[in-house]
Structure 1
Amino acid sequence: MNYAKFWNTGEEVYAHKALLANFKDMTPPEGRKEGIKGVLEASQSFRKIVPNLHVEVEHLLIAGDFATIRYRFKGNFNGKMGEVAGQGQVVDFPAVDIYEIHDGKITKNWHLEDYNTFFSQVK
């Protein structure tokens, strides 16, 4: 749940509590840096365009060394993404993460965000 707290607050301390030092993002977007640094930069970048970002855990399933979380990302698009400038549009989209856990921390993460919904909301 520390990683969920990180996405909800943007506070780096939660990412460091949740992720092993050799954490690996198994489905990184093009251009994202590896490891914890990439995650921290992704959060900072997204919070520039959705500064009031709030992330809720809608579902959590734990099976052995794996956890699956269904998230809901909400806020208002007030920044700029490419050529699109935000005007306070409401954003509300789901994401799903699968974590491999070792020693109580996330070592690998597979994720899928519903960017089709996000982009349809910020047009």
Structure 2
Amino acid sequence: MAIGVKLVNKEEASPEVKQIFEQIEKQMGFVPPTMRAMANKPEYLKLFLQKSQVAMGPGKIDSKTKLFVALTVSILNNCEMCITAYTKKLKEAGVTDEEIVELLSVIDLMSGLNHFNNGLMIKPTE
């Protein structure tokens, strides 16, 4: 559900958006609400998907690490949709509960340290 914009359904989508939705369904099994909202501006949806393929596709960083980064950013931005999606993807990639809790312990440690340093305005010495 989205507040403020209509979520485009496949049945009412333009032929261009229907084609994009079909590609998304092949990859994900469904069209997430976020992408259905983006479909109100098809050019942006296409750009987002291209960026996703470049950023999350093959590269120097392995896919599991990219998913850990995506989950970390989602947690820090408090995005329930993305936390759910990336936790599921990590589980599908074979990540254990222990590994996810370890990631959260690093996020907790570094967030606390960052707040401490920011609150006291501690500056780097080198």
Structure index of larger Rg: 2
Higher relative contact order (CA 8 A, sep 6+): 1
Determine if the TM-score, normalized by the shorter chain, exceeds 0.5.
no
More strand as a share of residues = 1
